[in-house]
């Protein structure tokens, strides 16, 4: 069957294409033989195992993450209580309300009943179970410690969901203000300002430059709103397509790292996610090279992907992980020193987990502080725009009143 993949070459460059293989595992093995680091393998839209078609339902990333977090925690409790895996999945399937997630759980259960392992069954649903998740489950199955691994995964998904919710909740109010501000300006330009334009035209009074510019903008929007709308949609789609390219992704990632305040927050969130993933994977007794590879596949920012690829090369040469992070501007010196200390004491996993907890707390405080600054600034900008429109509309009326009073 056809499988879409996302991988990275030795230089850290992203490669996306389609490959023919019997299974995602076979595709990943074939790509590794080409010296590519596999990040993601998934069925091409409209393709399914065995050549049959599967109906794809839209499910937001946040919703999938919530489902996965709840599923992992409940599965851990059932496995820890001694419940058979297939029976536990059947129980979780019955209590699932989301149709798309219910179908995914049922698919995994059916494959297990046909004799597949849990990790192999999950590999057929990469839209819900990513590479890190599946490899940790495989490690738990191989070591006979599936319950302990599920417990770590439940903590990891819970923390990831918490971080995502913090970011989303912090952005809701500014986005709402921006939407309201845009809506108010459109209403003013389409319905309010043109009425005053007719009044000024009938009175024949001279217009200040700001009023004339506002009336021209309102007239253009009324006459050619479809051009403005089409241009906006085209620009949005073009920007989205550009961001999905290798060059566009790199441009966006570079911009996020260079923006004032935003750059520091981006680095801190990326560092916290990397240290948490590395800590959880090391705590699951995976080899260091495998830990770095899996962490790299779960990392989105191309600069951190390249950094982790360099770390893999360094470890392959026999150097410690901290050596690859020592001179990088992407990793704070305190983080590098903490990793180095953990390597010396043999407690890298626990130290990385503690470090990620500390970074997440700091990030949450920083994000709230930044939003507390952005929100009043947006209110001021919205008020200033409305004031400019109001003054532009009422200034000619004041002039008319003055001329009338003078006569």
Range 278-307 average pLDDT: 86
Query: For residue 73, what pLDDT is reported?
Result: 92
Mean pLDDT of the chain: 82
Reading the block at residue 330, the tokens are: 């992407």
Could you tell me the CATH number of the domain that includes residue 226?
1.20.81.30
Range of the domain at 52: 1-56
Range 262-284 average pLDDT: 87
* Same-domain pairing of 44 and 192: no
Q: Is residue 205 part of a domain?
A: yes
pTM of the model: 0.72
Number of domains in the chain: 2
Q: Is the pLDDT reported for residue 407 higher than 60?
A: no
Q: Is the pLDDT reported for residue 337 higher than 70?
A: yes
Q: Is residue 328 part of a domain?
A: yes
Each residue's pLDDT tens digit, 227-236: 988 998 999 9
Each residue's pLDDT tens digit, 23-49: 677 777 777 777 777 777 766 544 444
Q: Is residue 114 part of a domain?
A: no
Q: Is residue 173 part of a domain?
A: no
Query: For residue 297, what pLDDT is reported?
Result: 84
Query: pLDDT: is 321 or 8 the higher one?
Result: 321
Q: Is the pLDDT reported for residue 16 higher than 70?
A: no
* Same-domain pairing of 218 and 363: yes
* Same-domain pairing of 246 and 392: yes
Q: Is the pLDDT reported for residue 102 higher than 50?
A: yes
Sequence-distant (≥ 6) Cβ neighbours of residue 69 within 8 angstroms: 154, 157, 158, 160, 161
Question: Rounded to whole angstroms, how far apart are CA atoms 81 and 58?
Answer: 34
* Ranges 178-182, 237-241, 272-276, 367-371: which has the least confidence: 367-371
* Ranges 194-198, 245-249, 304-308, 312-316: which has the least confidence: 194-198
Each residue's pLDDT tens digit, 116-151: 888 888 888 888 888 888 888 888 888 888 888 888
3-state DSSP of the chain: CEEEEEEECCCCCEEEEEEECCCHHHHHHHHHHCCCEEEEEEECCCCCHHHCCCCCCCCCHHHHHHHHHHHHHHHHHHHHCCCCHHHHHHHHHHCCCCHHHHHHHHHHHHHHHCCCCHHHHHHCCCCCCCHHHHHHHHHHHHHCCHHHHHHHHHHHHHHHHHHHHHHHHHHHHHHHHHHHHHHHHHHHHHHHHHHHHHHHHHHCCCCCHHHHHHHHHHHHHHHCHHHHHHHHHHHHHHHHHHHCCHHHHHHHHHHHHHCCCHHHHHHHHHHHHHHHHHHHHHHCCCCHHHHHHHHHHCCCCHHHHHHHHHHHHHHHCCCCHHHHHCCCCCCCHHHHHHHHHHHHHCCHHHHHHHHHHHHHHHHHHHHHHHHHHHHHHHHHHHHHHHHHHHHHHHHHHHHHHHHHHHC
Range 327-336 average pLDDT: 84
Question: Rounded to whole angstroms, how far apart are CA atoms 295 and 132?
Answer: 7
Each residue's pLDDT tens digit, 354-363: 888 888 888 8
Query: For residue 230, what pLDDT is reported?
Result: 92
Question: Rounded to whole angstroms, how far apart are CA atoms 119 and 115?
Answer: 12
Instruction: Give percent of the chain with pLDDT exceeding 90.
Output: 5
* Same-domain pairing of 52 and 196: no
Query: For residue 233, what pLDDT is reported?
Result: 92
Q: Is residue 72 part of a domain?
A: no
Q: Is the pLDDT reported for residue 375 higher than 60?
A: yes
Question: Rounded to whole angstroms, how far apart are CA atoms 186 and 264?
Answer: 35
Query: For residue 47, what pLDDT is reported?
Result: 43
Q: Is the pLDDT reported for residue 379 higher than 90?
A: no
Q: Is residue 41 part of a domain?
A: yes
Instruction: Give the residue from 145, 161, 182 showing the smallest Cα distance to 65.
Output: 161
Q: Is residue 96 part of a domain?
A: no
Q: Is residue 277 part of a domain?
A: yes
Could you tell me the CATH number of the domain that includes residue 47?
3.10.20
């Amino acid at each position: 069957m056809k499988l879409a993949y996302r991988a990275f070459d030795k230089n850290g460059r992203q490669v996306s294409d389609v490959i023919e293989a019997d299974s995602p595992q076979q595709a990943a093995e074939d790509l590794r033989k080409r010296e590519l680091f596999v990040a993601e393998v998934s069925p091409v839209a409209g393709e399914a195992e065995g050549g049959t078609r599967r109906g794809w339902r839209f499910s937001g990333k946040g919703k999938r993450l919530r489902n996965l977090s709840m599923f992992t925690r409940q599965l851990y409790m059932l496995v820890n209580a001694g419940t058979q895996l297939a029976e536990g999945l059947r129980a979780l399937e019955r209590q699932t309300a989301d149709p798309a997630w219910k179908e995914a759980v049922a698919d995994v259960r059916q494959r297990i009943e046909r004799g597949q392992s849990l990790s192999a069954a999950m590999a057929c649903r990469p839209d819900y179970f990513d590479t890190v998740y599946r490899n940790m489950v495989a490690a738990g199955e191989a070591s006979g410690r599936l319950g302990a691994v599920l417990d770590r995964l439940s903590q990891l998904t819970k923390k990831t969901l918490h971080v995502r919710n913090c970011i989303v909740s912090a952005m809701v109010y500014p986005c709402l203000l921006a939407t309201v501000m845009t809506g108010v300006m459109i209403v003013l330009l389409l319905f309010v300002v043109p009425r005053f334009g007719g009044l000024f035209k009938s009175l024949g009074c001279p217009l200040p430059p700001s009023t004339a510019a506002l009336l021209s903008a309102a007239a253009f929007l009324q006459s050619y709103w479809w051009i403005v709308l089409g241009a906006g949609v085209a620009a949005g789609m073009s920007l989205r397509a550009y961001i999905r390219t290798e060059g566009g992704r790199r441009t966006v990632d570079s911009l996020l790292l260079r923006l004032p305040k935003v750059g520091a927050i981006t680095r801190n969130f990326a560092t916290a996610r990397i240290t948490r993933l590395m800590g959880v994977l090391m705590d699951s007794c995976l080899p260091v090279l495998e830990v770095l590879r899996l962490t790299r596949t779960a990392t989105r920012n191309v600069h951190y992907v390249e950094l982790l690829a360099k770390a893999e090369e360094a470890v392959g040469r026999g150097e410690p992980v901290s050596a690859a992070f020592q001179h990088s501007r992407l990793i704070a010196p305190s983080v590098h020193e903490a990793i180095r200390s953990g390597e010396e004491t043999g407690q890298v996993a626990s130290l990385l987990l503690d470090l990620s907890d500390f970074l997440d707390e700091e990030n949450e405080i920083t994000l709230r502080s930044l939003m507390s600054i952005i929100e009043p600034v947006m209110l001021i900008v919205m008020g200033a725009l409305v004031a400019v429109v109001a003054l532009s509309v009422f200034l000619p009326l004041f002039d008319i009143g003055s001329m009338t009073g003078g006569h």
